Amino acid sequence: MPSKLFFTTILALLLLQCGTREEVPPKTWTIQNLKLHAQKAQVSEEKVRVKGLYVDQPVPMLLTNMLWPRVNSKMPDSVYLLLDVPKDNSEPADMPAYGSLVEIEGRCYQNVSGSNKELSIKVDHVRAMKSAAAQTKVYRPGRMEFQDFTDSVTAIPQLIRSQNCALLYSGGFDRAGAHIRFWNNLVFMYKTLVNVYGYSPKNIVVVYRAGTPETYGPGSIPVHFAAHPEGLQDAIQTLKSRLTGENDLLLYVTNHGGGLHRSIGPFGGRPDSIAPDEIDPGRFDESIDYYDFPAPLYDDHFAAMIGCLNFNKLIAVLQPCFSGGLLHDLRGPHRVLMSACKEDDLSYEHPTVPFDIFSYYVISALAKRDHRGNPVNADTDGDGRVSMLEAFEHARIIGAELDYLRLERREEPLLEDNGDGIGVFRPNARFGDGVLANSAFL
Model confidence pLDDT, tens digit, residues 283-305: 889 999 999 999 999 999 999 99
Instruction: Quickly state the pLDDT bin for 131 (edges 50, 70, 90).
Output: low
Does residue 3 sit within a domain?
no
Instruction: Quickly state the pLDDT bin for 231 (edges 50, 70, 90).
Output: very high
* Residues 359 and 268 both lie in one domain: yes
Q: What's the mean pLDDT in 341-347?
A: 93
The pLDDT of residue 143: 62
* Residues 205 and 315 both lie in one domain: yes
Name the percent of the chain lying above pLDDT 90: 62
The pLDDT of residue 278: 62
The tens digit of pLDDT for each residue in 57-114 reads 899 999 999 989 999 999 999 999 999 987 654 444 467 888 889 999 999 988 766 5
More confident residue, 335 or 8: 335
**Backbone phi, psi, residue 426, to 5°:** -125, 85
Does residue 349 sit within a domain?
yes
With beta carbons less than 8 A apart as the criterion, state whether 329 and 301 touch. no
Q: What's the distance, CA 347 to chain centroid?
A: 10
Q: What's the mean pLDDT in 373-377?
A: 94
Does residue 7 sit within a domain?
no
* Residues 71 and 120 both lie in one domain: yes
**Backbone phi, psi, residue 307, to 5°:** -65, -20
* Residues 193 and 254 both lie in one domain: yes
Does residue 20 sit within a domain?
no
Does residue 55 sit within a domain?
yes
Distance CA 59, CA 61 (A): 6
* Residues 112 and 155 both lie in one domain: no
* Residues 73 and 156 both lie in one domain: no
Last residue of a domain, one of 89, 107, 134: 134
With beta carbons less than 8 A apart as the criterion, state whether 358 and 411 touch. yes
Q: Please state the pTM of the whole predicted model.
A: 0.88
DSSP class per residue in 381-416: T-SSS--HHHHHHHHHHHHHH--GGGTT-----EEE
Lowest-pLDDT choice from 70-74, 172-176, 399-403: 399-403
Rg (CA), the chain: 26
Number of domains in the chain: 2
The pLDDT of residue 422: 94
Q: Which regions of 114-174 does DSSP assign to beta strands (E)?
A: 116-130, 165-170
Last residue of a domain, one of 100, 134, 168: 134
Does residue 10 sit within a domain?
no
The tens digit of pLDDT for each residue in 260-269 reads 888 888 888 8
* Residues 265 and 381 both lie in one domain: yes
* Residues 161 and 217 both lie in one domain: yes
Quick check: bond before 141 cis, omega within 30? no
* Residues 181 and 108 both lie in one domain: no
Other C-beta atoms closer than 10 Å to the C-beta of 424 total 16
CATH number for the domain harbouring residue 359:
3.40.50.1460
The pLDDT of residue 39: 82
Distances (CA, A) of 23 to 14, 16, 269, 281: 16, 14, 47, 58
Q: What's the mean pLDDT in 187-216?
A: 94
* Residues 44 and 96 both lie in one domain: yes
Does residue 60 sit within a domain?
yes
Domain that holds residue 321: 150-438
DSSP class per residue in 204-269: EEEEETTS-----SSSPPP--B-SSHHHHHHHHHHHHHH--SSS-EEEEE-S-EEEEETTTEEES-
Give residue 351's region: left, alpha or beta (phi > 0; psi -120 to 50).
Answer: alpha
* Residues 310 and 221 both lie in one domain: yes
Q: What's the mean pLDDT in 173-189?
A: 94
The pLDDT of residue 89: 47
* Residues 154 and 94 both lie in one domain: no
Does residue 14 sit within a domain?
no
Q: What's the distance, CA 253 to chain centroid?
A: 10
Distance CA 207, CA 47 (A): 40
Last residue of a domain, one of 134, 167, 194: 134
The pLDDT of residue 312: 98
CATH number for the domain harbouring residue 77:
2.40.50.140
